[in-house]
Amino acid sequence: MLALRPNCECCDKDLPSDSAEALICSFECTFCRTCAESTLNFVCPNCSGNLVERPIRTIEALKYNPASSKRVLKTHGCLPNTDIKER
């Protein structure tokens, strides 16, 4: 089950469980749309996987399977992915 992390790892923007601004990789690294587009070129800086829209969990499902409250933040933010070839 997805953890639904509460923030962008780059800029620490809040990304609530119903946010359409959240993007994730297959390891659930989480980024806001702005960082994913402008800095990361839709490539995860941790695993080099692609970043896609995070699914939204229904309110009913959140009652029994709440989103994570653990914030993950890269110490020095994110560096642009300029060496990655377009996918």
Nearest-angstrom CA–CA distance, 21 and 47: 20
What's the burial of 17, exposed, middle or buried (CB within 10 Å: 0-12/13-18/19+)?
A: buried
Q: Is residue 50 included in any domain, yes or no?
A: yes
pLDDT at 81: 67
Ramachandran sector of residue 4 (left: φ over 0; alpha: ψ -120 to 50; beta: rest): left
pLDDT at 87: 39
Residue ranges for the chain with pLDDT beneath 50: 83-87
pLDDT at 52: 98
pTM score of the predicted model = 0.85
What the block records as the tokens of 23 is: 């993007």
Do 23 and 7 form a contact (C-beta atoms < 8 A)? no
The CATH number assigned to the domain holding 43 equals 3.30.40
Q: Is residue 63 included in any domain, yes or no?
A: yes
Total number of domains in the chain:
1
pLDDT at 86: 44
Q: Is residue 40 included in any domain, yes or no?
A: yes
